[in-house]
Amino acid sequence: MNTCGSCHDYPPSDGTRDGATGAFVGDHQIHQVICSTCHIAPATETSADFGHRDGNITMQTGAAGVSGGYYDKNANATYDAGTDNVFAQTQPVTTSTCRTVSCHGGTGTNSAQWGVGNEDCTTCHNAAINSPIANGLGGPTQRRAIVPEFSGTWSHKRSGGAVTAADCGVCHMEGTAATGRVDWTFHADGYVDLRDPDTGTTIQGATHNGSNPGAYTSSGSGRFIQFSRNLGSATLEAHVRAIQINHCLKCHDADGALDPSAQVTGGSAGKPFNTTIAHTPGGDVLDVDAHFDTTNQSYHPVKGTQNNSYVDSDLMLAPFNQATKTAGTTNQWGDLMSCWDCHADPGDSGTINYTVTAHGAADTLRGTATVTGTPSAANAVTLCVICHDMVGTNNPVGHGPNSAATNLDRSEKNPYLSYGCNMCHSRSYSPVTTRPTRAEDAHGTDVVPDSTNGNVKSGRWATGPDLGPVSFIRNSNQFDVHAPASIGANNYTPICMGGSNGDGTCTRSGTETYTVGGTY
């Protein structure tokens, strides 16, 4: 029995048997769907009815739409060819368009126009697209609208928020950064295949080896059907580990996107979208990977775990409040965390299926990271306290038991301890508004600036050698005397926050003492 492939390339592509005139080359090439998705006759690929060879090309209309194929042909799927749905091969094709809500994401400028080849990532993914293949694999029924996300305040975008089809191929194997065309090896199979920016291949899976502090190893496939992160769980999903270790941090590192397939035409490793990034060294992608190095003296546990004893059940909130970890235990390592435990929409909780870091959004953090002026309940850092139970009404004086800031007797400091995390745990009183300083204050760093004299101290406290920054606390005139109960073999005693009179009393009052706490 003859099939469509007996006469036409199947799926249609460039070649001598393209199945249409030269004007259609490219239009067929981009569509990897069964013939009856668009054509009325033959009804199926194996049909023996070749009565359609009458010189006309007959298209599906909304009324005659059939089900099946990769996309949902519903009553909204129409073909605009004038008075009917039949046109001869000699008819000018530049006036005919396909308007399909389910395939092309709308009408007007989002419509596909035969012979023009205007179907690409941005024209199709400008609106929600039905995804029966992904749904059949247990994924979403629709892929959400992607293009509008790039107009967000925080986004992977070109100047003005205009994203091109070529941009998609920088991160997605489904696209080609050099041409902006679809790569059908990966597209429309129900999976999301992200590109390893250093190798140009699909990202591998990532597994933490469990040692202390441990590191990730990569093997197997990192492809996934739909992104999801359960913000209420300390267990990281397999694809979450793969994405952050082998996709995000391989681009946001010291050498950027090394492979040419992860760069648009004219781009470079440091500027894969051929765009200069404001507030970063050289305008290149920010090296976030170095912030999380486990050799840093302060780091959040993204690439490896931490063993700080203050991260215990008394001072952390779910899901990172390990019940078995207690104060003073410095040989027990904590949980790992993901980028999206901080980078999500404000108010997000539970399982999220959308990430603000992928394309763009109005916000990039789940809460406010810095405040100015005098902190208060209405002017408070709200990001840190999503995980850290060290501020607010639970601990109105100091940070409570087992913290390095156990008790401070001067009441005027209480608002800063309760609501203004960045006042102590950043490089200056005022929030630094330019990168990369702001990111290092939260991610991790091995360099501590000394605001007393303007010099930068690399890995040393003013109080003695080999005493690194604790809990990101800044090395300033106010906190040169900051001291936990102990760091290794170094033990500390209560001190005067305002300076000593030299006779065992404090400068401003006899009760202005700081009860040291916390074991590191």
What is the spatial distance between Cα 166 and Cα 263, in angstroms, rounded to a whole number? 9
DSSP-derived 3-state class of residue 208: strand
Q: Kindly state the greatest CA–CA separation across the chain.
A: 108
What is the spatial distance between Cα 178 and Cα 265, in angstroms, rounded to a whole number? 5
Question: Which pLDDT does position 315 carry in this prediction?
Answer: 81
Question: Which pLDDT does position 489 carry in this prediction?
Answer: 72
Question: Which pLDDT does position 127 carry in this prediction?
Answer: 80
Q: Could you identify the residue written with the tokens 């250093």?
A: 198
Measured CA distances, 472 to 176, 336, 475, 497 (Å): 41, 18, 9, 19
What is the spatial distance between Cα 207 and Cα 212, in angstroms, rounded to a whole number? 14
What is the spatial distance between Cα 445 and Cα 440, in angstroms, rounded to a whole number? 6
**β-pairing, 78-80 with 97-99?**
antiparallel
Q: Could you identify the residue written with the tokens 């060294």?
A: 281
Q: Give the other-Cβ count within 10 Å of 257's Cβ.
A: 28
Tokens for 269?
């490793």
Question: Which pLDDT does position 245 carry in this prediction?
Answer: 98
Question: Which pLDDT does position 357 carry in this prediction?
Answer: 93
Question: Which pLDDT does position 215 carry in this prediction?
Answer: 92
Using the 8-state DSSP alphabet, how is residue 4 labeled? Answer: H
Q: Mean pLDDT of successive 10-residue segments in the chain (520 residues)? A: 64 44 47 60 53 58 33 41 44 48 47 56 82 87 90 77 90 94 85 98 96 92 97 97 98 97 96 87 91 89 87 85 78 91 96 94 93 88 89 58 65 77 72 67 74 46 48 57 66 62 54 65
Question: Which pLDDT does position 20 carry in this prediction?
Answer: 38
The region, left, alpha or beta by phi > 0 then psi within -120 to 50, assigned to residue 502 is left
315 φ/ψ angles, rounded to the nearest 5 degrees: -115, 0
What residues does 388 pair with on adjacent strands?
316
Q: Quick one: 453 exposed, middle or buried, by C-beta within 10 A (0-12, 13-18, 19+)?
A: exposed
